[in-house]
A = this chain, B = another copy of it.
Amino acid sequence: MDILLSRKSVRSYKPDMISDEDINYILKAAMASPTAGNAREWHFMVIKNKKTHEEIMKIHTAAQMIKNAPAAIIVCAEPNVEKFPGFWPQDAGAATQNILLAATAKGIGSVWCGIYPREERVAKFQELLNIPENIVPVSMIVLGYEDGDTPLKERWEPSKIKYETWA
């Protein structure tokens, strides 16, 4: 729970590389997430190449923090292999959350950058990374050791809870 509550969006990174062991730990967490009908319609791309990061900065204006980050993981979905159609964006959200939490558990900062449903971004990521048309890049998680100390946000809002019925 400490990890759940200490998860935050980190946007300033030290250039230090993340170990392959830690990357695998994070991917293992990602694949521990549930999918509708256990279809496991996700794929994960690990991007460490700085030239690719520079290209990503050109196609995703809100992902400039990748400049100094050592790595990113892109969560992709393959809608055609779903057992129950249409749940893949939620499933990708759950996998993304597990990535954020596993990184936090390892002391690695992270931030969730949205790709889908922005069609132009989806197409540009597909082109840059040779992703086939039937695979949708859904989210990108930038990873790295935090440079600084972003404060935690308080998100507890009891007014968002309803009991038994809405009204």
Contact = CB atoms under 8 A, between A and B. Distances in A.
Contact of A94 (B32, B38, B96, B160): B96
Contacts of A96: 90, 93-94
Given A36-B114, A97-B94, A112-B34, A44 B162 contact: yes
B161 A44 contact: yes
A155 B94 contact: no
Contacts of A1: 25, 29, 102, 105
Contact of A43 (B28, B91, B117, B160): B160
Contacts of A91: 93
A135 interface: yes
**Chain A interface residue bracket vs B:** 35 or more
A42 B4 contact: no
Given A5-B28, A45-B161, A90-B138, 14 more contacts: A1-B29, A40-B155, A40-B157, A43-B161, A44-B160, A45-B163, A45-B166, A46-B162, A86-B117, A89-B90, A89-B93, A90-B96, A97-B97, A130-B166
Interface of A: 1, 4-5, 7, 9, 25, 27-29, 31-34, 36, 38, 40, 42-49, 52, 84, 86-87, 89-94, 96-98, 100-102, 105, 112, 114, 116-118, 129-132, 135, 138-139, 153, 155-157, 160-167
22 contacts: A5-B32, A9-B34, A33-B97, A34-B112, A40-B160, A42-B160, A45-B162, A46-B161, A46-B164, A52-B164, A89-B89, A90-B92, A90-B93, A90-B114, A90-B138, A93-B93, A93-B96, A94-B94, A94-B97, A101-B101, A129-B166, A131-B166
